[in-house]
Structure 1
Amino acid sequence: MPLIRLECSETSLPEELPASLESARDVFVDANAVDFELEANLCPRLAADLPFFALPEQQLLAYEKHRETSELGHIFRIANGLHDHIDAVVMTGSGGGFLGARAIAAACCDPFHNETTRAARGSKPRIYFAGDDLDNDQLQSLIGRLSAGGYGDGVADRTWAIIAADAAGRSDSPRYVLNHLVETLISNTPSIAPELRARLVTAIGPVHSLSGGPIAQRLASHGFDQSLRVPDSIENRSSVFTPLGLLSSAFLGLDCIQLLVGAAAINENFRKEPFERNLVLRFVAANRAAATGDDRSAECKRLSAWWARSLTGFQDWLQCLHPHHWPIDVATEFGRSVLNEQLESGCLRGEPLVCNHVDVAAIRTDPLPVTPENPLRRGDDSQSVRQTQQHIAATIDQQLADVGIRQNRITLPVLDTHSLGQWMQLMMLAAAIESRLNTDAPSHDTKSIPTDGSANPRM
């Protein structure tokens, strides 16, 4: 399958930056390398010290070797084993894994997934995400919706499940959301067989917390002891390819294997390719090179333009991943007005800015005409909604360029789990490399060199 496409508007880079990036890459790869020829590194369950960089390959190889007893095998067993018995699943938690899981669901599912019938969903459950910060009214509404059941009158329509995520294993996080949901689930399922009820709640957390953490203890007191692992070594923000991001996807019938295969493809590109063909390094360079003068190698404040609107759920995930990601979406009129106000007020004077456009090459449904009474002619979609949006995007490109904002464009081939796996791994690796560059305090030499033609300059 093709890799995602990265086009950068930057035509020159600080002379030392490509070499610095390749050096940072080499150090990172050496520090996080895992030898999968060793039997110990292909253990069925996720090891406590596994780095996020190795997650895609380790889980794919462990599943190939161990099948049902691997971490991925347990994920599939839990999700597939409940499809016929439940009509909804709610995930509780916070942080990168939780936000990533929510964004994957929003990107891959029909926007009105929860409103369709059980048959239309292929018996896949409705899904809800309950952050640790729900207030009283939100929690009451969620409890009411789950208790009301689905759109049919079967036993499965009245039964639901919980994914209890505890990415950090913290004891200070509020537990009232999970506590109320567990009590509601128990009261909603008085006649469910004990063996089935025990499978309705799955705890996901660090290896060290699953046996004695606050969530595990709470669930065990009610007879729920089903759990999945997150390596202790993985930061919350980089945990989306652990069960935190995979179990909810499996419940929805999404292709988790391809999600990991896509991430592994980016790992391969990152490990082996030189700067000119390395997606991660070029993305990092393009986002740092937008600075000027003495800050030429510094990080920039980042804007986004989500032209594929199903991807807007990743805005929160990116903010969790990278502190310089600014929650302004210039694909929307509101986002552009906020940016204009900031520019006109002088609040951004001297701030290096870069905008990362994110789009998908192929739409999933038939193109609609802008005017319903004028249907599209075969082979001609020039008057389609899609083409109109692309014209708007080109106009915004020019407007941003006119005020000196650098731009990059990331294009996913299609909106599927393979492409999402690529994009998310690219973003996590870019954040890791930038963190290393910041720690190493790069120089501020302002001499520049042209980039290779493969950088596909847009401006």
Structure 2
Amino acid sequence: MPGPSREREPVAVCAPDQPTLEWTDWVQRRDKFLEQLTIDFDRDESLCPRLPDWLTLFSLPEQLLLAYERHRETSELGHVFRIANSLHDHLDAITVIGPASSNLAAEAVTSACCDPFHNEMSRAERGSKPRLYFADFEPDNDSIQSLAWRLQRHGYGDVHAERRWGMILIDAPNTRDQWLPLFRYFSTQLDHWTDHLADRPFPLTIITPRPNDWNEGMTGGIAFQTLLQNDELTGHRGILSPSTLLPAAFLGLDVIQLLVGAAAINQNFQKASAADNLVFRWNQACEQRACWLVNESPSFDRLLHWWSQLEWPIANGGVQSMRSCDAGEKLQRGRDPFTSHSNSSPRHVALHLAPGVERTDPIVLKTPVRSESRSTAEPLDRSQKVSDLRSQQREELRERLATVGAEQYQLSLPGIDTHALGQWIQLALLSSAIIAANKHDSKSDDSVPVG
């Protein structure tokens, strides 16, 4: 793996010291999981240039990185860079059309790393990076019309690039007949690509597990290029696949570090002891209990929503995600979020996710001083940083959660960057996959053979 991955500060899971799962049982489950999903990177077919159709979510980060080191431009990651680097200076917007789950995965990464009002900035303020829009396969007339109207109005300036936009399609072969009309509606509007840009990739990329299905007849005569995404790495599970990497690369995000961070979690998962194994400690929190995901930064709204959707099919006690302010309001009103779940476990868990470092300069606010704690000589208001105000709110929330018996975990990111996000994402993916595999094994063991 590239050198910087070993120098970066890791994600930390701050949790109670007493494990709820025996380490010996965990090792058996981990080893079985690795036996099924690990691939041998010494074999040439494991590092083929294009994404193999049998690749698993565990091996995906290393495969993309190592194949890029060996094959460069002809690797899947090389194609991602070629498309994004060739086009981002020549267009002003990218529209991603795909299933809602795939769009959520891509938006989780891009919204966490970009300015919250990225699309409203001028091209110069965005560093010439394109605006990014998402449209899922739900055929809603108002949203389709509004997006088409926005794209036809071009950018905010008069340069040629601001009159052009591109499109990324995330293919869903099983429902193709339902969304293909929507795709053709948008693709036929890509009529702004001029002859002097003919040496560039066409601004339509199709990310698909079935590249042989596609020809210009399917796209209404529009040229395109393809990226590969296998059937196992789609939707919520495909958050580190090309359907996320390409939009992220268009925005100039460091997708190499996103994958390096994920690979670092794989190494920790394989080799770390119980006390230091982040996936093990994460599973302690999530398995067999209701989970309340507490988001302490608006930048993580889509990321936490992605996590809750990833976990929902396998959650025993239910999964909720919300802002910390919403959580505090519910508790203040006396609404225990855990009692609505039928769960045999007497304990519940709250997972707090927060960045360790702010990305921008501190803002100072004037906050009122409570009358019961203020002497007559003190002013009515005092100066307080936003970060300090947030810290107070977090402590108050933790105290309220403790009163309803919630076991609390803090997931600390050293900062909001792609390396830390890659660690967090792979941590969630591995935990979810292991819990799902264990539930499947449990059902198999409980079944009674017939005959």
Shorter-chain TM-score: what band?
0.7 to 0.9
Q: Structure 2: any 5+ residue segments left out of the alignment?
A: 1-7, 368-381, 444-451
Q: Which residue of 2 aligns with 1:56?
A: 61
Alignment-mate amino acid for residue 272 of structure 1: K
Alignment-mate amino acid for residue 218 of structure 1: M
Asked if the contact 1:307–1:331 (Cα under 8 Å) also holds between the matched residues in 2, the reply is: yes
Q: What SS class does the counterpart of residue 356 from structure 1 fall into?
A: strand
Alignment-mate amino acid for residue 224 of structure 1: A
Pick one of 206, 212, 217 that aligns with 1:203. 206
Flag the structure with more relative contact order, 1 or 2, with Cα contacts below 8 A and sequence separation at least 6: 1
Q: Which residue of 2 aligns with 1:347?
A: 340
Q: 1:382 to 1:354 in 2, by over 3 A?
A: farther
Q: Which residue of 1 aligns with 2:308?
A: 319
With 404-413 and 162-171 compared, the bigger mean Cα shift is at 162-171
Q: Say if 2:416 is the partner of 1:440.
A: no
Q: In structure 2, what is the Cα distance between the partners aligned to 1:172 and 1:327?
A: 33
Pairwise CA distance, 1:343:
2.9
Pairwise CA distance, 1:125:
0.4
Q: Which residue of 2 aligns with 1:19?
A: 24
Deviations 1:221-264 (A, max 9, x none): 42323000012343533211111110000000000100000000
Pairwise CA distance, 1:39:
1.7
Pairwise CA distance, 1:366:
1.1
Alignment-mate amino acid for residue 300 of structure 1: R
- Alpha-carbon RMSD: 2.6
Q: 1:382 to 1:68 in 2, by over 3 A?
A: farther
Pairwise CA distance, 1:439:
2.1
Question: How is 1:385-396 mapped onto 2 (pairs within 5 angstroms)?
Answer: 385-396=386-397
Q: Which residue of 1 aligns with 2:164?
A: 159
Q: Say if 2:406 is the partner of 1:405.
A: yes
Q: In structure 2, what is the Cα distance between the partners aligned to 1:252 and 1:152?
A: 19
Q: In structure 2, what is the Cα distance between the partners aligned to 1:242 and 1:218?
A: 24
Pick one of 7, 10, 13 that aligns with 1:3. 10
Deviations 1:348-386 (A, max 9, x none): 4757532110001111111111229xxxxxxxx993100
Q: In structure 1, what is the Cα distance between the partners aligned to 2:45 and 2:338?
A: 59
Q: In structure 1, what is the Cα distance between the partners aligned to 2:430 and 2:251?
A: 27
Q: Which residue of 2 aligns with 1:46?
A: 51
Q: In structure 1, what is the Cα distance between the partners aligned to 2:132 and 2:322?
A: 26
Deviations 1:64-94 (A, max 9, x none): 1111111111000000100121000010112
TM-score normalised per structure 2 = 0.86
With 133-142 and 49-58 compared, the bigger mean Cα shift is at 133-142
Q: Which residue of 2 aligns with 1:300?
A: 289
Q: Structure 1: any 5+ residue segments left out of the alignment?
A: 289-298, 373-380, 443-459
Q: What SS class does the counterpart of residue 305 from structure 1 fall into?
A: strand
How many residues are aligned here?
Answer: 417
Alignment-mate amino acid for residue 415 of structure 1: I
Pairwise CA distance, 1:120:
1.2
Q: What SS class does the counterpart of residue 439 from structure 1 fall into?
A: helix
Question: How is 1:3-402 mapped onto 2 (pairs within 5 angstroms)?
Answer: 3-8=10-15, 10-14=16-20, 17-133=22-138, 135-166=140-171, 170-186=175-191, 189=192, 191=194, 195=198, 199-206=202-209, 209-212=210-213, 218-219=218-219, 221-288=220-287, 299-323=288-312, 324=315, 326-333=319-326, 336-337=329-330, 342-343=335-336, 347-348=340-341, 352-371=347-366, 383-402=384-403
With 319-328 and 160-169 compared, the bigger mean Cα shift is at 319-328
